[in-house]
Amino acid sequence: MYRRIARVVFVLIGSAGSVLQAQEFQIFDRTVQVHGFVSQGFVYTGGNNWLTMNTRSGSGAMTDMGLNVSSQVTDSLRLGAQVYDRNLGKLGQYHPSLDWASVDYTFKPWLGVRGGKVKTTLGLYNDTQDLDFLRTFALLPQSVYPMDLRDTAIAHLGGDLYGAVPLKRQLGAVSYTAYAGRRSDSIYSGFAYLLTQYQIYLRSLSGLQYGCDLRWETPLKGLLVGASRMNQGITGKGSFVNALKPSAGLLPYRISTTTDWTNQFYSQFSAGKLRLDAEYRRYVSDESYLPTVDVADDVRGWYVAGVYRVARRLQVGSYYSRYTATSILTGPGAALIGSQPDTSLPQNHIYDKAVAARLNLDRYWNVKLEGHFMDGVGVGVYPDGFYPQVNPGGFKPNTNALIVRTGFAF
């Protein structure tokens, strides 16, 4: 498999020159653009295996790629689609998916509509979290943008209303997005993988997703503040083995959320070579987790990050990220797993200090080096990077990680 991956990567890079030349062509007198990206990471950890990879031995199972085609058909109408594929340890497993495909029509600067499969606007970076080449860090703060749970918020099949309104008296401008649609997770996502430890095997996880985002470009130059809200009603279907009665074999399984919302608040300040980000996300859900267990999750994460452009091609950055998760279980089967109310315990938090450097080798290719120093593993009922399946000997309280990641985008 790795030889196949290497071949794909090298063919892409090797043909980059000709691909770059062929990025744009005409169909029926309309310009069509083609763009793509690929990234490859290597992760080594001390402590625990991370993100479903065997990182304690060093792992290169961190690859993703995308390809899109789009056209500005008229000044108001835009069409496009992107395919995305990834492998992250036990997740993804190279099952390509339609990342987005939309028709976008702008009536006025303050009113536009897009429909199809659309990236979800949530906080600063939800809709661009896969696009490694856009940022300094190899990994976004996992407290707010968990890579293993990408599918929970990345996109919806539905529609958006959006627009931007300049404010009077030089008070800046406000942008809004309101959306509704259907979320559909890959069965190769983190949550589905987590459930396999309980012998639960999902074949679908989807449901209604709707919300809004409001952001304000303030009169203070470079300062942006905003808030997002997302509501969901998610149902998972599959099979499970009843641990209390394994002889019954595979039984039908269903999980649904009754309460499921996310609030996110954020700000960004840019001045010269410096950019500062801060975000807070809270996710609350009530769900029937097993036939005899109900789970109330309260997941909170926040981070502060700074990035500085040292030279034209070199950026450095650092962030501090805190993640806590409490899970309160009720029902006859609750004792099998146990509630997790105490966030001071390593299994209920992850405090992460990260430092990173990014070097742009040229306009298209970058290399990143990043270190993480993590306290805690956050392995309650809700996952965030650490999984028992790849840590069969149990968890150590701390994990340090070194990431080298390279990416190419055209």
Instruction: Specify the residue, 100 or 191, whose C-beta has the smaller distance to other proteins.
Output: 100
Indicate whether 102 belongs to the interface with other proteins (CB under 8 A). yes
Question: Which of these ranges, 48-56, 94-102, 190-198, 388-396, lies near other proteins under the rule CB under 8 A?
Answer: 94-102
Question: How far from the centroid of its chain's Cα atoms is residue 410's Cα?
Answer: 22
Among 203, 254, 363, 396, binds other proteins (CB under 8 A): 363
Question: How far from the centroid of its chain's Cα atoms is residue 111's Cα?
Answer: 27
How many residues are there in the chain? 410
The minimum distance between CB 87 and other proteins, in angstroms, equals 19
Half-sphere exposure of 356 (CA within 13 A, CB side): 32
Indicate whether 407 belongs to the interface with other proteins (CB under 8 A). no
x/- mask, other proteins, residues 70-89, rule CB under 8 A, reads xxx--xx-x-xxx-------
Indicate whether 277 belongs to the interface with other proteins (CB under 8 A). no
x/- mask, other proteins, residues 149-168, rule CB under 8 A, reads ---------------x----
Which tokens sit at 91? 């997740």
Please give the size of the binding site for other proteins, defined by CB under 8 A.
39
Which tokens sit at 258? 């009754």
- Give Dmax (Cα) for the chain: 72
Indicate whether 213 belongs to the interface with other proteins (CB under 8 A). no
How deeply is 89 buried, as exposed, middle or buried, from its count of CB atoms within 10 A (0-12, 13-18, 19+)? buried
The minimum distance between CB 316 and other proteins, in angstroms, equals 14
Indicate whether 395 belongs to the interface with other proteins (CB under 8 A). no
Strand pairing class (200-217; 97-108): unpaired
- One-character DSSP codes across 19-76: HHHTSEEEETTEEEEEEEEEEEEEEEEESS--TTS-GGG-EEEEEEEEEEEEEE-SSS
Q: Contact residues for other proteins (CB under 8 A)?
A: 23, 31, 33, 35, 37, 66, 68, 70-72, 75-76, 78, 80-82, 100-102, 104, 106, 109, 114, 118-119, 127-128, 131, 133-135, 164, 221, 309, 312-313, 360, 363, 409
